[in-house]
A = this chain, B = another copy of it.
């Protein structure tokens, strides 16, 4: 978290860009980026639940699946995921199943978050691989996107 902070912020910015693009598609604005251990971006995407008519098409699940396909492996050893919002239980567990090394996320989600809130997936004994978790990156920017999106819906 020291020498790589500028790179981390760069990836989080790329994730925010994906969240912005998701908002324009009328999707809940969450974006994610997945990198390999050398810091190369393998996949970036935003929420596509409505577009794909797929309840599992959260940004995190999409980049996990795309990166697995690219690396031809169901284990993404030493990879990192950057996401604008605290993952829900589905995404948090998928990140564990994929053996992701580091999870960086933006805003906390007291309602549906499942890492530091709610079921706290990585704190459970049923979780056999626990990624390193770093949070709070561009928290306000991530929250603002969601706030505007849900305000417009009312």
CB-contacts of A122-136 with B (<8 A): 124-128
Q: How large is the interface on A (under 10, 10 to 19, 20 to 34, 35 or more residues)?
A: 35 or more
Copy tally for this chain in the complex stands at: 2
- Give the residue of B55, B90, B125 whose beta carbon is less than 8 angstroms from that of A75: B55
Q: A74 an interface residue at 8 Å Cβ cutoff?
A: yes
A41 within 8 A of B: no
Asked if A42 CB lies within 8 Å of chain B CBs, one says no
Q: Which residues of B contact A112 (CB under 8 A)?
A: 126, 128
Contact assessment for B114 and A118 in the assembled complex, using a CB-CB cutoff below 8 Å: no
The 3 closest A-B pairs by CB, nearest first: A118-B126, A90-B93, A119-B119
26 residue pairs of the A-B complex, CB under 8 angstroms, read: A50-B74, A53-B68, A53-B72, A54-B65, A54-B68, A55-B74, A55-B75, A55-B94, A55-B97, A56-B94, A56-B97, A57-B74, A88-B93, A89-B114, A89-B127, A90-B91, A90-B93, A93-B93, A93-B114, A112-B128, A113-B126, A114-B126, A118-B124, A119-B120, A119-B121, A119-B127
